[in-house]
Amino acid sequence: DAKTTQPTSMDCAEGRAANLPCNHSTISGNEYVYWYRQIHSQGPQYIIHGLKNNETNEMASLIITEDRKSSTLILPHATLRDTAVYYCIVVNSGGSNYKLTFGKGTLLTVNP
């Protein structure tokens, strides 16, 4: 699976949009981009995933560049409860070797 690169940490003001970048320059055509987050002392929470097109759900939006080498997770109105480590993971969904490999992620701190 392709490797991802994320900033170690980011800060965001409460109520503002949080934009979390992820680089995955070696992504292959059949690999999806998944985003999870882990709030302290809890199991990871699925946020969103996509292949080529931009995606939006009740939690966030995922913007994937046309060449698919990078993506951005957008939390439109960050709240204090969004403080967590955010993981960007690239994986061949549906493959026989499907498994998630967690890197160090980005620690997003939402400030009041």
Partner 1 sequence: GAVVSQHPSWVICKSGTSVKIECRSLDFQATTMFWYRQFPKQSLMLMATSNEGSKATYEQGVEKDKFLINHASLTLSTLTVTSAHPEDSSFYICSARKTRTGGETQYFGPGTRLLVL
Q: Does 7 bind partner 1 (CB under 8 A)?
A: no
Q: Is 86 in the site for partner 1 (CB under 8 A)?
A: no
Distance CA 93, CA 16 (A): 32
| Amino acid sitting at position 75 | L
| Smallest separation, CB 111 to partner 1 (Å) | 22
Report the largest interatomic distance among the alpha carbons of the chain, rounded to a whole angstrom: 44
> Cα separation of 25 and 15, whole Å?
31
- Of the pair 17, 100, the CB lying nearest partner 1 is at 100
Q: Catalog residues that contact partner 1 under the rule CB under 8 A.
A: 32, 34, 36, 38, 41-46, 49-51, 87, 93-94, 98-105
